[in-house]
Amino acid sequence: MVDFELLGLNFRKQTMRWSNNVDRISRLPEEIQSHILSLMPTKFAVQTCVLSKRWRYTWMSITNLNFDDKPPFCFNNLETFVDRALGLCKSSQIESFPLDFSTLCVQSVVSNWIDKAITLKVRELDIQYMLLKLPSSVFTCTTLTKLKICYGIVWMCEPAVNLPCLKTLDVEVFSNPFLNAFKLIAGSPMLKNLSLGVVCFHGKGDYIFDIPMLKRLKLHLRHSKNTNKLVLRVPKLEHLNFDGTLYSLFVMEDVSSLVEASFSFEEKPFDSLTVELLKGISGVKLLSFKKILSASPLPVFANMEHLELKGFWHFKLIPKFLERSPELKEIYIEKLEGSRWIAPKLVPAYMLAKLRTIKFLNFKWRKCDIPFFKFLLGNAKVSRTVSINLEKPSIEEEMRLGAQLLNLPRASRCCEIYFHRN
């Protein structure tokens, strides 16, 4: 058995009995006991072996191996404990095996742990241990359904990657994603959720995502100063998230199922790239943008019901979205800039016709904002809620703003105005 003196713990032996002196926990089926122990860190699950003879071997059937290097572990006893726990584990299949240590262990030892987890038919691997060389068995594991590989891990895909059950992949590489990341994607035919991060890439080659089963795609692309294309052939994709720098042209060859799209740019993208990007996602129902846009002309967002404009947004850009979103029901605006609101000369009949919720986040009140609010309140005929989250307001400022807004004419009799403080 595991020597608990290695843990440096004084674990007092106790029995869990209720008032009628019946040990009901011990009478539970072994499957339920193992499931309960699997919900806690492995070091605590193993400690239950000293409760009684009945509990001596129960922990060996846990399905989640969750190790950490928090006290009382130190450099030496961590390796010993993980080695023994893996060696004694008798579960027919391990559900999850996260590796997130700050302690520097021998690389070969950690690689052996991963190999052992794979022999135990692990389903989820979360590898965030820095400066680790991954064993080749990771890329031919037929039981893996979820794999996460953080930046800083040394790995090289085998010539033939075979991950037939992998559904979720979260991987971050420093430079060239074509060396490993795209090989990993190509060897995962059942992939439904993909998160790809590229820290610094200046090479050549198009990012082609030809993934027929993919439903969620999250891209983190930073410092990738190239003119290559991002080609999406993802007929079942429902959620698209992008953050970083946009230097590549999005080519939406098949995004027919796309429902939600979110973009956060570190730098203002080129106008031509933004125009093509918005055209490709014009069929979404939910759209979130963070960074000032100057895209012109905007496409018609025929299905869009929810719009989030994050960061600083100029007055002149907002009516462009309102004019081209006939089904819009909710709009969230984070911050406004510009010294003067210029209302559209002609307000189309469908503009603001279905808008119900208007929300301002981190709002700093200015006098020049009054005409903008007058336009919204005066044209949103079915609006019900205007929510304003003020940025460090004084009581006087809040009362003054409230009085000004309450005096503005409202097209909707049901519209209520709420104020919130950060």
* Residue 368 phi, psi (nearest 5): -70, -5
pTM of the entire predicted model: 0.84
Q: Is 410 within the bounds of a domain?
A: yes
* Confidence category of residue 185, pLDDT binned at 50, 70, 90: very high
Parallel/antiparallel/unpaired status of strands 193-198 and 216-221: parallel
19, 48, 76 — which closes off a domain?
76
Q: Is 247 within the bounds of a domain?
A: no
76, 108, 125 — which closes off a domain?
76
Give per-residue burial for 248-278: e unless 16+ CB within 10 Å, then b: bbbbbeebeebebbbbebeeebeeebbbbbb
41, 76, 111 — which closes off a domain?
76
* Confidence category of residue 393, pLDDT binned at 50, 70, 90: low
Q: Is 234 within the bounds of a domain?
A: no
Q: Is 101 within the bounds of a domain?
A: no
121-163 residue pLDDT tens: 999 999 887 667 788 899 999 999 999 988 777 777 777 899 9
Could you give the number of structural domains in the chain? 2
Q: Is 242 within the bounds of a domain?
A: no
Q: Is 411 within the bounds of a domain?
A: yes
- Report pLDDT for 6: 41
Q: Is 46 within the bounds of a domain?
A: yes
DSSP annotation of 133: B
57-68 residue pLDDT tens: 788 888 888 887
Do residues 180 and 157 lie in contact, with contact meaning Cβ atoms separated by under 8 Å? yes
The Cα 412–Cα 386 span in angstroms is 11
Q: Is 133 within the bounds of a domain?
A: no
44-89 residue pLDDT tens: 888 888 777 777 878 888 888 888 766 655 546 778 888 888 888 8
The Cα 240–Cα 250 span in angstroms is 12
237-277 residue pLDDT tens: 999 999 988 878 899 999 999 999 999 987 777 778 888 89
Which of 291, 371, 376, 363 shows the shortest CA–CA distance to 333? 363
Residue-number span of the structural domain to which 71 is assigned: 1-76
H/E stretch holding 264 reads strand 260-265
Q: Count CB atoms within 10 A of the CB of residue 34.
A: 19
H/E stretch holding 390 reads strand 385-390
DSSP annotation of 92: S
